Structure 1
Amino acid sequence: MDIWGKRDNMVVHEREPYNAEPPPGTLVDQVTPLDTFYCRNHGPFPRMDTASWRLRVDGLVDRTLVLSIDELQRRFPERELVATLQCAGNRRADLIEFRDIPGQVPWGPGATSTASWGGVRLADVLAEAGLQPEASHIAFTGSDMSQDADPPQPFGASIPAAKATSGEVLLAWAMNGQTLPTAHGAPLRVVVPGWIGARSVKWLQRITAQAEPTDNYFQTEYSVLPPEADPHKVEPRDGITLGPIAIHCAILQPDKGAHLPSGPTEVTGFAFAGDDRTVARVDVSHDCGSTWIHAHLDKPENPWTWQHWHATLILPAGATELIARAWDDTAAVQPESPATVWNPKGYANNSWARLHVTCHP
């Protein structure tokens, strides 16, 4: 585990490729420590030589660019942005409890973390290359090879040019004030705030401007399929390709299955609206939604970060289910049940957060 630099109590779902999330109670800080930040990978991480590494920017551009890290740092203004990243499979375990999803990682609520990212704006690099009018999508190719694709291919993704040229999308070489760790994509990665983590390609080696979305396997792999679909027998057009994250929340404390004294109990969690939205309200209940308490909601650092919340509930003796739901600033609210969002890949679970505890007198 030393190569990943992670805390000892990470919940490790796979060791190769390394997929792990922190215990929920460790996510209470606005910025997640490097040793606590979740890891999602589809293949072994590549060993990169920063000195010889180059980023290629090509496709529908006026000028092809080939840039070293030193050139990126010299030629473009450095930017810093606090942003939350989240795996599209976050809280998949709740969907699995409703109906099994074979072959998928059973992520809990910890496949999400927030960091302060340092680098340059993708928009500045694309402006230097000169985007041509027909360039509607910006594709990213990493250096990590995945056996999930047939034949194997590097991990890749694309985002619309409108998102790519907005000021918040970064090419990052720093994380929490330190050099970007190998585990998180060094020497350079993309950070696409408000969108699923799969679009923030790590170990970046190429940016391509093109008229259509990338045909990389992982672009449409991250799609929500109809409940009745067989994920092994579908076409890319059969699913809804994921981009912006939907409004959701999670309960961080108390722990799942905790035994607590009855009476006043502090319940804490986070909520995240995704895209460029913010969370407007979080409601918490201990009586199956018969009554709700409005949680105290922290202000966001910016539209691209989660917001922590807390509420004090008076819990009765016995078994209790805690429930939380979030609303965003467009008045969108989380759906009540995993049954309404279940899909055969287990993506984008934004149903109400639920946690069972037992209280004694």
Structure 2
Amino acid sequence: MSLKNILLRTINQKNKFINLSASAVKVSNQEQYGHGGQQKKNYGYNRRTMATALFSSVVVGTMASAEKSDKNKNKNEDKTVEAGTIRPDLPTFRAEEVSKHDNEKSFWVTYKNGVYDVTAFLPSHPGGDQILNAGGLSIEPFWNVYGMHKTEEVYALLESYRIGNLHEDDVVDHSDEEMWVKEPSRDRRLVVKTARPFNAETPAKLQVAYFDTPNELFYVRQHMPVPELDQSSHRVKVIVKDGGVTSKEFSLQDLSRFPKGTVRAALMCAGNRRSEMNEQVKPVKGISWQGGAISSAVWEGVYLRDVLVHCGVDTHNTAGKHVIFTGADIDATGQNFSTSIPLDQALNPNSRIVLATSMNGRPLPPDHGYPLRVVVPGAPAVRSVKWLESITVSHEESPSHWHQKDYRSFNASKTWETADFASAPPIYSLPVTSAICDPVNGDTVTVKNGIVEIRGYAYSGGGAKILRVDISPDCGNTWIQAEEMQSDDAPPQQHYGWTLWTARIPVKRGQKELKLWAKATDSNFNTQPETFHDIWNIRGVLSNAYHKIKVQIKH
């Protein structure tokens, strides 16, 4: 086949690919997801739609690369080229080594047993910088989804970039990974806890660098793959089960006709700081969050209460009723993510629950619910269901696993064998907590004028405001109150943002080590417990004992 025909066939395949995955690509709409010009200039933060990257990484659309591969085409004109087979004449690489080559100076990908260096192709990539998503990774999961890649020409083109073999111990079966290939790009500064589903913390020192967490640094908590949705066609259905069943459906345009609703709210996973409970007492089950599973943002949309009233929900007869939120994310069994809150919480004007389409003045990013999520301030973030597609008013709580068998707390003596989830109430609010973010445990800090400056956050659920934060430099013998407190000016019982604080701790001459304890007190005069022993529970939730770190001192 001639070079011209190869390129024409490849272009036709690309067009088919685009038609099949237009909703995944959305190149022209990348601004709506909050990845602005700064990320376009910065490779490290510009790893976008992986499906596009995969296709681009095999469709080498430049004359230079095609000319290089044309020699191989002539040799293989009459036989099928099988990519990724072992080549004894080439060196072997470990996956760890391959993963390091994910930048514009050295860019590798893998396919089955093959390792490929496509660095020279990057400047002329027809899909722009979308190829950057595949750096240091296997492209096989994408080929399992988009079978049009599996052609003699594309195999040969890929093999023209072959540099080695992937070590047998690092070759994995990617056949079940199709559901993850369209995951959104993520900022590489996030501290990844699990890759699938994606869960990542905001780095501690960056938590206190911004009062409203930048969208790309907002911590991510997923239970399943991120669904692909389109704001122009998305609908949310409101179902009212009260004597009979009535329902109304709203587009985002329909929702925009309600009065605008805005709330500044920190969202915190109920398992934030679980790692400390796990390390200081005994093992618990759940993601080993440190202190980074909390971030704060300004959310805009419309108030849930207004929508429910419009749909005829009785605001006076709320006893025993619940509001079930269902998202578009689906697990392997086909079950949509779902949870619920009491109806009286949903209808309380002080709750300021928002059906949000905007985060910090920009459309919701895919990881945070695009195009619509509910934000339930002051509650565990699990109640703020993302990718919202239905709201149901019912006499029953959500029947989902995540509501019935999770996000409930037990006393310190309960085990998995003795815990009765049905008898334990769901967690609808959060206790007061705080954490030292800068410095972090193990840092070496420099003394200036006899003082060490420390910064952190404090937060309490249910609309309570932080009154003060106290720091002890001597294991609780004395306490120093933080003198700088940055917080929202929301009225009492509606304070849903966090508080960022700064404290200055005196250090003795010659002192080499400093142990720091932090505790916060909220407007209900609740304060943190000293240790995790009495609040330990099998799920490691509500982990809010004093935050304790140790740092080295440099004079």
Residue in 2 aligned with 1:56? Answer: 237
* 1:225 and 2:410 correspond: yes
**Matched AA of 1:59:** V
Indicate the larger mover: 315-324 or 177-186. 315-324
TM-score (norm: length of structure 1): 0.94
- Residue 139 of structure 1 contacts residue 214 of structure 1 at CA under 8 Å; is this kept in 2? yes
Separation of aligned partners in 2, 1:34 and 1:330: 31
Quick check: 1:332 aligned with 2:332? Answer: no
Q: Show the 5 A alignment for 1:99-178.
A: 99-101=281-283, 103-132=285-314, 133=317, 136-146=321-331, 153-167=335-349, 168-178=352-362
The 2-side partners of 1:264 and 1:304 are apart by 32
Task: Quote how far apart the aligned CAs of 1:235 are.
Answer: 3.2
CA distance in 2 between partners of 1:60 and 1:271 (Å): 39
Q: Is contact 2:239–2:393 with CA below 8 Å preserved after alignment?
A: yes
Shift of 1:239: 2.9
Q: Deviations over 1:31-80 (max 9, x none)?
A: 0001110000111111113333211101336842111111111x311222
Distance 1:141 1:232, change over 3 A: farther
Partner of 2:454: 267
Cα–Cα, structure 1 residues 5 and 265, in superposed 2: closer, same or farther, change >3 Å?
farther
| Matched-pair contact (CA < 8 Å) for 1:225–1:238 | no
Which stretch of structure 1 is more off in the superposition, 127-136 or 115-124? 127-136
Q: Distance in 2 between matches of 1:120 and 1:311?
A: 38
> Highest CA radius of gyration, 1 or 2?
2
Change in Cα spacing, 1:179 to 1:235, as seen in structure 2 (3 Å) is: same
Aligned residue pairs, count = 357
* More displaced stretch, 166-175 vs 58-67: 58-67
Unaligned stretches of 5+ in structure 2?
Answer: 1-46, 49-182
Partner Cα distance (2:418, 2:251) in 1: 42
Percent identical across equivalent pairs?
34
User: Cα distance, 1:10 vs. partner?
Assistant: 1.1
| CA–CA separation in structure 1 for the residues paired with 2:337 and 2:398 | 11
The code of the aligned residue for 1:353 comes to H
Matches within 5 A, 1:164-313: 164-167=346-349, 168-220=352-404, 221-231=406-416, 234-262=419-447, 263-296=450-483, 297-302=485-490, 303-313=495-505
State whether structure 2 residue 255 is matched by structure 1 residue 72: yes
Q: CA-to-partner distance for each residue in 1:77-104, whole Å, 9 max, x for gaps?
A: 1222211100011011111111343542
Distance between the aligned counterparts of 2:433 and 2:384, measured in 1?
A: 20
Q: Which has the higher contact order (CA 8 A, sep 6+)?
A: 1
- Corresponding residue to 1:17 among 182, 197, 202: 197
Report the Cα offset of residue 119 of structure 1: 0.4
Question: Greater strand percent: which structure?
Answer: 1
Shift of 1:232: 6.3
Query: Which one is further off, 234-243 or 159-168?
Result: 234-243
Partner AA of 1:300 in structure 2:
D
2:271–2:541 contact (8 Å) kept in structure 1: yes
Tell me the alpha carbon deviations over residues 101-141 of structure 1, each in whole angstroms, 9 at most, x when there is no partner: 35421101110011111100000100011114357211101
2:552 pairs with 333, 358, 361, which one?
A: 358
Letter aligned with residue 379 of structure 2 = W
Report the residue type matching 1:9 in the other structure: R
Q: Secondary structure at the match of 2:496?
A: coil
Aligned counterparts of 2:390 and 2:365: Cα–Cα separation in 1: 19
Counterpart position of 2:280:
98
What is the CA–CA distance in structure 2 between the aligned matches of 1:274 and 1:37, rounded to whole Å? 18
Q: Distance in 2 between matches of 1:198 and 1:299?
A: 24
Alpha-carbon contact 2:323-2:392 (below 8 Å) kept: yes
1:56 and 1:217 map into 2 onto residues whose CA distance is 22
Cα deviation code 1:200-242 (max 9, x no counterpart): 0001111000123222211131011233333366432243421
* Preserved contact between residue 231 and residue 345 of structure 1 (Cα < 8 Å): no
Cα distance in 2 for residues equivalent to 1:163 and 1:156: 17
Q: Partners in 2 of 1:216 and 1:9 — Cα distance?
A: 33
Contact between 2:512 and 2:553, CA under 8 Å: does it hold in 1? Answer: yes
**Letter matched to residue 252 of structure 2:** I
Moved more, 18-27 or 229-238: 229-238
CA 154–244 in structure 1, closer or farther in 2 if over 3 Å, else same: same
8 Å contact kept, 1:101–1:345: no
Equivalent position of 2:69 in the other structure? none
The CA distance in 2 between the partners of 1:27 and 1:65, in whole Å, is: 40
CA distance in 2, matches of 1:48, 1:139: 20
Distance 1:242 1:152, change over 3 A: farther
- Match of residue 214 from structure 2: 33
More helix by share: 2
- Contact persistence 2:192–2:200 (CA under 8 A): yes
- Contact 1:252 1:268 (C-alpha < 8 Å) held by counterparts: yes
Cα distance in 1, alignment partners of residues 416 and 388 from structure 2 = 28
Aligned residue type for 1:70:
Q
| In 2: Cα distance, 1:216 partner to 1:163 partner | 20
Q: Distance in 1 between matches of 2:443 and 2:454?
A: 12
CA apart distance, 1:251: 0.7
Q: Report the TM-score when normalising by structure 2.
A: 0.62
SS at match of 2:217: coil
Q: Deviations over 1:220-268 (max 9, x none)?
A: 3101123333336643224342111111111111122101234311111
Amino acid at match of 1:328: D
* Structure 2 residue identity aligned to 1:185: G
**C-alpha distance in 2, partners of 1:158/1:49?**
25
**Which SS does the other structure have where 1:241 is aligned?**
coil
